[in-house]
Amino acid sequence: MTDVFAAIADTTRRAILDELAERDGQTLFEICARLAAKHGVTSSRQAISQHLDILAEAGLVTARRSGRYKFHHVDFTPLRAITARWPVPDT
């Protein structure tokens, strides 16, 4: 299993998470288009697919197949577990 910190260390993977947080349930094609348009990320679909695999190994992304399409969904549970461990003190 990929470490959550290692998964979010990459700027492209953080951009993918941002896009899925804004609009969950996207296909690889949609993610690539949004990354190019909004973040200037022009990586190949294969490269973005590999980033999605790393995020999935860390438990941050799940995929659901419907026909010939694969829809990607964000799951922030692993990040919530980290932030719950170190709560922010009241100031």
Q: Find residue 63's DSSP bridge partners.
A: 72
Determine whether domain 4-85 maps to CATH 1.10.3720.10. no
Q: Taking 90 as the threshold, does the pLDDT of residue 2 lie above it? A: no
- pTM across the whole model: 0.89
> Over the stretch 8-54, which tens digit does the pLDDT of each residue have?
999 999 999 999 999 999 999 999 999 999 999 999 999 999 999 99
Those residues whose C-beta lies under 8 Å from the C-beta of residue 56, and which sit 6 or more positions away, are 62, 63
- φ/ψ region of 19 (left if φ > 0, alpha if ψ in -120 to 50, else beta) reads alpha
Instruction: Give per-residue pLDDT as tens, 50-89.
Output: 999 999 999 999 999 999 999 999 999 998 888 888 877 8
Strand stretches in 1-91, DSSP E? 61-66, 69-74
Q: For position 14, what pLDDT does the model report? A: 97
pLDDT at 1 over 90: no
